[in-house]
Amino acid sequence: MARLGIKRRRPHLSRRREIALFALSASVIAIPTLAAVWAVIVTTEPDLSNLIPINEKSGDDLLLPWPALAQENMLGLTKESMKFVGTRVRALGYMMEIDQPVHNGSLVSQFALLPEPGTLRAPAHRFEDQMILVRLRDQPQPFSARRLVWVWGALRAFSDGRFLYRLDQARVQPAERREIWDYFR
């Protein structure tokens, strides 16, 4: 139509509407992104998988360093891990469900102990040589997902396709985050 001399009118947005449209577009992108970042930050806990105990023992028990459990291959236990197998150890880790979701507060007689709990957006890594099946010796205890706990018990080599280790006759006690730096470096 412009050829015939008829001018085409371009729709005009007021400056105020342009700013409102930009703010709406920016918030549609920014709010979910910031919410995801916030969720990860709030649910992040320290990773224990590379920490070494300051002292080898805690009372009569050996303090278990997670790096000692790591296997280069699954053909056999390393010399470092064999030092702990068959002895009473004290391990710091995160209480996690084994196979199926467990409600917080439910009584459990066993759970998985992991060196890191994952975040809201990324689940914990479940490597066979970085998980310990904890079997409690006394009565069942209340479950608390992703809770930092101390566990005492006899470490055993154990393979069922999911776990390479288990703690038998174990006791569990909640731990505080500051205890990580009191016992490990």
Section 85-95 average pLDDT: 96
Reported pTM: 0.82
CB 145 within 8 A of CB 104: yes
Task: Tell me if 70 is assigned to some domain.
Answer: yes
pLDDT of residue 13: 76
User: Could you tell me if residue 129 is inside a domain?
Assistant: yes
Averaged pLDDT for residues 137-145: 93
Q: Could you read off the pLDDT of 15-64 as tens digits, one per residue?
A: 898 899 999 999 999 999 999 889 888 889 999 999 999 999 988 999 99
The answer to whether 117 and 152 have CB atoms below 8 angstroms apart is: no
- Number of folded domains in the chain? 1
The answer to whether residue 19 is domain-embedded is: no
**Secondary element (H or E) of residue 24:** helix 15-43
Q: Is the pLDDT reported for residue 91 higher than 80?
A: yes
Section 122-128 average pLDDT: 89
Range of the domain at 119: 57-183
CA distances from 121 to 39, 88, 101, 112, 164 (A): 8, 35, 16, 20, 26
47 lies in some domain: no
pLDDT at residue 131, rounded to an integer: 94
Looking up residue 132, the CATH number of its domain turns out to be: 2.40.50.870
Kindly state whether residue 46 falls inside one of the protein's structural domains: no
**156 in a structural domain:** yes
> Under DSSP, is residue 108 helix (H, G, I), strand (E, B) or coil?
strand
Residue 169 resides in a domain: yes
Does residue 122 or residue 117 have the better pLDDT? 117
Structural domain includes residue 16 = no
